[in-house]
Amino acid sequence: MLQNNHCLGTEQMDYGAWSDLLRSLCGRHNLVEMDPNSFSGWLRSLSVCGFTAVDICCSAHRFERSHRDVRLDDLDYYKAVFQVAGHSTIYQNDQCVLDAARPISCVSDDARVQRLSFLLPRRSLVSHLGYEPQGGAYRHSGTSAGRLLNEVVDDALKGVEPASPPVDSYMQLAVYNLLGALFAPPDPPPSSRPAHKLFTRIRHLIKDRVADPDFGPPEAASEAGISLRYLQKLFTQCGSTCTDFIYSLRLNHAARLLDRRRLLDTREPISAIAYECGFRDYTHFARKFRQRFGYPPGAHSAEQGRDANGAVRAGANESTRQAHDGRAALI
């Protein structure tokens, strides 16, 4: 757990002011079984590594977002939530990741609970990671990525600022990568996939060669030492095709490079990014990119900028998740 007393000097707020500010940052929430007149707490907005973060503390033992709250909000982000002080549990559905676009309940066991939440635009996060995060809770001491993220949070709470504005752009990329390391979906157990070891080897082989425009299913089959027909069968049994898998990797990588181009303002030609991701023909790349993301690659920066400036709709689903003693959850 992060031990700090900086909250002691933070201005206390009544429920009306606290609720209004929370709504403007994170959407509508409501107290449950508590007299607003007995409420005490505070919250503030921080800029951390180029992300908006919300530092929140309150005496409420339970607050929630209802179906009505979700309908009235227009939110499109994930949240990475770090438990700074106290002990609490977050309830939602019966899956692995919380979704701020669905009802949610937060139950606290302590009189005062403090959390820091990173607001992560959905489209930007997914384009960086290449998948919809299936997160949950983690203990910061359990992984290197978790410990590094915890240091970022600790510095933010202490008011440590980057040396210059470009640092935020690089740190934003680092945070995305650390979250990817924490919440990457595990490989299914062998019993759930045909020829699991072979299939895993083929996927790694494709990832290593995906930037080669001459690499396709025939080359993958040849390097794996199997027939093209058997290769296609392996992917079909998993609900995909080898060609779709290759294009998915290339387009996700292109989206990450376009994000990097925007964040670092490199002005690299988009055609160069297309070639770097294994596309020989820009027109073909642009068509595939539009099919994958719903807009052309040239509009990617505008779409990401709008996503980052708007707020919120969180990621997938989650059951009972406990975030305490320095844990964080992606919700």
Percent above pLDDT 90 for the chain: 16
Q: At how many degrees (to 10) do helices 242-264 and 228-237 cross?
A: 70
Mean pLDDT to the nearest integer, 191-204: 73
Residue 1 belongs to some domain of the structure: no
145 shares a domain with 179: yes
Residue 144 belongs to some domain of the structure: yes
Could you tell me the pTM of the whole model?
0.64
240 shares a domain with 122: no
Residue 276 belongs to some domain of the structure: yes
84 shares a domain with 10: yes
Question: Does residue 9 or residue 257 have the better pLDDT?
Answer: 257
Mean pLDDT to the nearest integer, 262-286: 90
Mean pLDDT is lowest, of 75-84, 101-110, 153-162, for 101-110
47 shares a domain with 113: yes
289 shares a domain with 169: no
- Give pLDDT, residue 321: 35
Tokens encoding 298: 């040239």
- DSSP one-letter string for 66-109: -HHHHHH----EEEEEEEEESEEEEE-TTSBS--TTS-EEEEES
Name the helix (H) or strand (E) containing 144: helix 144-158
Instruction: Put the strands of the sheet holding 87-91 in their side by side order.
Output: 30-31, 62-65, 104-108, 87-91, 321-324
Owning domain of residue 97: 6-185+310-330
159 shares a domain with 30: yes
Cβ-based neighbour number of residue 259 at 10 Å: 21
Mean pLDDT for the chain? 77
